[in-house]
Structure 1
Amino acid sequence: MKKVMITVDYNPNAEKVVRKGYEMAQLMGAELCLFHVLADVRYYGVQYEPFMGYEGYAFPVDYNIQNEFVKVAQDYLEKTKKHLNGENITTHLVEGDTAKKILEYSEEWGADLIVMGTHSHGALEKIFLGTVASSVLERTKIPVYMVPINQ
């Protein structure tokens, strides 16, 4: 395995997923891609405590301007990459449906392994909405390493 793609959401819990994926990539001597999908812009207005070297944005954002959220997401990926301080790390940002974009880019990039977190969702939410993780698992041909995230 020479290419590891870590799916990174915008949440402090992502640090655990990134750390585990980075450890695996190092053990395999693999190239690493930090992959983020800009799916729902409302999450970028949430102010968290600093995590993975990222302190959030310190400027007012006009919620009608998608470009501002793209800049915030790009900054988040770059700070995460810098936080890892490793070699052979790239970042990739896309917009759209999260599961669909993970599946598309993992094949396009030639990922040998997808690393993603599993969030604790209620049973009804899983039944009616599904989860990104289950959608990816059901449709991918690429091995997936799931990192449990307890919220």
Structure 2
Amino acid sequence: MKKVLIALDYNPNSEKVVNMGYELAKLMQAEICLFHVLAEVRYYGMQYEPFMGYEGYAFPVDFRIQEEFVKVAKDYLEKTAAHLGGENITTHLAEGDTAQSITLYAEEWKADLIVLGTHSHGTLERIFLGTVASSVLEHTKIPVYMVPTGK
């Protein structure tokens, strides 16, 4: 195994995921890609007429907000890479559905292992909403190393 994709979000528990993924990659002398997905940021810029008495979307939106989201996310990835301070670390930022973006990029990058954190969600939440981790597991052929981040 020579390529490890570490997926992280903005949750403070991501530090645990990154550190554990990094240690594992070091043991394997593998290349690392720190990977983050922005949700569909285009929705933040959409304008809607008031609906159900809610006027939250009826105000003008600065369309440069997407650029700000991207800049913040890239800064996050760069600082995380600097925090690790190791060699063979790259970063990649994607936009869209999180689980789908992880699986697609892991295949494209030819990752040998995907490292993900698992948040503690209740049983009902998992049944009705699913989780990114379970969706990645369901749709990838690449081995997945799950790091529990719940309390």
TM-score category (smaller protein): 0.7 to 0.9
| Alignment-derived partner of residue 51 in structure 1 | none
**CA distance 1:133–1:146, change in 2 (3 Å):** same
SS at match of 2:114: strand
| Identity in percent | 76
Give the whole-Å Cα distance in 2 for the aligned partners of 1:6 and 1:150.
18
Going from structure 1 to structure 2, the CA distance change for 1:107 and 1:66 (only over 3 Å counts) comes to same
- 1:116 and 1:40 map into 2 onto residues whose CA distance is 20
> Which has more radius of gyration?
2
Counterparts of residues 19-58 of structure 1 (less than 5 Å): 19-39=19-39
Per the alignment, residue 54 of structure 1 pairs with: none
Taking only aligned residues, the RMSD between alpha carbons, in angstroms, comes to 1.4
For 1:19, the aligned partner's letter is: N
**SS of equivalent residue, structure 1 residue 146:** strand
CA distance in 2 between partners of 1:131 and 1:64 (Å):
30
For 1:86 and 1:125, locate their aligned partners in 2 and report how far apart those are by CA, in whole Å.
37
- Match of 1:12, SS? coil
Q: TM-score, length-normalised on structure 1?
A: 0.83
Q: CA deviation at 1:65?
A: 1.3
Deviations 1:51-94 (A, max 9, x none): xxxxxxxxxxx687111010000000000000000000000001
Identify the residue that residue 109 of structure 2 maps to in structure 1: 109
User: Which letter does structure 2 place at the counterpart of 1:77?
Assistant: L
Structure 1: any 5+ residue segments left out of the alignment? 42-61
Within-5 A mapping of 1:70-149: 70-149=70-149
Alpha-carbon contact 2:40-2:97 (below 8 Å) kept: no
CA distance in 2, matches of 1:122, 1:148: 14
> Does 1:68 pair with 2:68?
yes
User: How many residues get paired?
Assistant: 131
Q: Quote the residue 2:57 is aligned against.
A: none
Runs of 5+ in structure 2 lacking a partner?
A: 42-61
Give the whole-Å Cα distance in 1 for the aligned partners of 2:22 and 2:126. Answer: 28
